[in-house]
Structure formats: structure tokens, C-alpha cells
């Protein structure tokens, strides 16, 4: 069973923050597939479903970003999924605003949620979908920038990135080869 994990922080305070791009992307997938992410399991809000016979779980960990690995380990155990069936969706300040980068594996970069997942799994060998939020403005620390609401003038760019990212996830759920998805969706702004 494919497990798609969107990273973010629970609570209304963070609803529109850059750091919640993973949650926003999974919500877009859920809306497109007419399902709801609402069941609490494995320290996550989840939706279990299938698309054309392809079973999958959408999961938004409720552990707060820096402990996301706890939820990911529980999800893989509960649904008896392997690392090659895992896709983690998250914001990335190391790539341009609105850029999308799918990768079959890799390091955490500057992302503490990903660092925790890699540490918890003991492996970097899982798929990821990074959505670029760009670097913080000068004199704004990264940890403050990622928790800010997305400014109104950037929301359309982020919305378009989220829509494209959600389409790539649906293609993966539907069985498209990951290499082909990377070719179709990897986009740099």
C-alpha cells in the first residue's frame, strides 16, 4: 500500500504557513479524489482509499514537524508498507519559490522534519516531493520564515505549485513510473 505523508504542524495557527505545504498538498489530493483526511491513526490524520484498484493512505502527522518520523514509522508498520511505497511531501527553502522536485531518495537538506524521518527510519531511501518556498528574506531566520503565513502576493504561485504537486501524487498512486513523473513534473522557478 502506498503511503503519502504530507509534512506540517497541527493547529489553526499554522494553517497557512509555508511549513504546512505538505498538509495543503494532501488536502488538494483529497479534494480531487473526493475523500476526507479525518481519521486519527498512527499519530496522524489519515484517509485510506483506492484509485483504480491502487490502495493508498494520505497522512498528515499530528506530532509537529520535528517529530514526524514517529508517525511515519507507525504508518509503515500499520499498513505493512515498504520504503519504496513511501512518498513524503514537504516545503523546501533550498529551492526556488513554486518549484517542484521529485526525487527517489536523498538527504534532508535543512529540513528538520525530514532529518527526523531519516533518523527514525535509518534510511534516506524513500521518495520525496519538495515544494520550493524560496529562501527567507534577509534578516529573517529560517525557523521564523517557515512558520509565517504565506504572503498574499505569493499565494497564487504556491497554489499553482500545490495543484501540480497534487497531480503528480495522483499519477503515482495510479501506477505511473516514478521516473516518468519526475520528468513530467520537476519544475524550477
CA 58 from centroid of its chain's CA atoms: 10
Torsion of CA 128, 22, 109, 11, to 10 degrees: -150
Predicted confidence (pLDDT) per residue in 6-33, tens digit:
999 999 999 999 999 999 999 999 999 9
User: What is the strand order of the sheet 100-103 is part of?
Assistant: 39-41, 44-51, 54-61, 2-6, 86-92, 127-132, 100-103
Predicted confidence (pLDDT) per residue in 134-149, tens digit:
999 999 999 999 999 9
Asked whether the CA dihedral 77, 185, 183, 50 is positive or negative, the reply is positive
Confidence of residue 69 (pLDDT cuts 50, 70, 90): very high
pLDDT over threshold 80, residue 189: no
Predicted confidence (pLDDT) per residue in 103-134, tens digit:
999 999 889 999 999 999 999 999 999 999 99
Q: Can you give the pLDDT at residue 26?
A: 99
Confidence of residue 45 (pLDDT cuts 50, 70, 90): very high
User: Which cell numbers in the block locate residue 17?
Assistant: 504557513
Q: Can you give the pLDDT at residue 110?
A: 86
pLDDT over threshold 80, residue 188: no
Q: Can you give the pLDDT at residue 39?
A: 96
Domains of the chain with bracketed CATH: 2-185 (3.40.50.1470)
Which of 151, 135, 144 is CA-nearest to residue 189? Answer: 135
Q: Can you give the pLDDT at residue 140?
A: 95
Helix (H, G, I), strand (E, B) or coil at 126: coil
Residues marked active site are found at 19
The whole-angstrom separation of Cα 21 and Cα 24 is 5
Percentage of the chain lying above the pLDDT 90 cut: 97
Predicted confidence (pLDDT) per residue in 72-101, tens digit:
999 999 999 999 999 999 999 999 999 999
φ/ψ region of 141 (left if φ > 0, alpha if ψ in -120 to 50, else beta) reads beta
Amino acid at each position: 500500500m502506498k503511503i503519502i505523508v504530507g509534512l506540517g504542524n497541527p493547529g489553526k495557527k499554522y494553517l497557512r504557513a509555508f511549513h504546512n505545504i505538505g498538509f495543503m498538498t494532501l488536502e488538494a489530493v483529497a479534494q480531487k479524489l473526493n475523500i476526507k483526511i479525518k481519521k486519527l491513526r498512527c499519530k496522524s490524520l489519515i484517509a485510506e482509499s483506492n484509485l483504480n484498484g491502487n490502495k493508498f493512505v494520505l497522512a498528515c502527522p499530528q506530532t509537529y514537524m520535528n517529530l514526524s518520523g514517529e508517525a511515519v514509522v507507525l504508518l509503515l508498520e500499520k499498513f505493512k508498507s515498504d520504503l519504496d511505497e513511501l512518498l513524503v511531501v514537504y516545503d523546501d527553502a533550498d529551492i526556488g519559490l513554486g518549484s517542484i522536485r521529485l526525487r527517489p531518495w536523498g538527504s534532508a537538506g535543512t529540513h528538520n522534519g525530514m532529518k527526523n524521518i531519516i533518523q527514525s527510519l535509518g534510511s534516506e531511501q524513500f521518495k520525496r516531493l519538495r515544494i520550493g518556498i524560496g529562501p527567507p528574506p534577509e534578516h529573517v531566520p529560517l525557523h521564523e520564515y517557515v512558520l509565517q503565513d504565506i504572503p498574499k502576493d505569493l499565494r497564487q504561485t504556491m497554489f499553482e505549485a500545490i495543484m501540480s504537486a497534487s497531480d503528480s501524487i495522483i499519477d503515482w498512486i495510479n501506477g505511473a513510473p516514478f521516473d516518468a513523473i519526475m520528468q513530467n513534473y520537476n519544475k524550477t522557478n
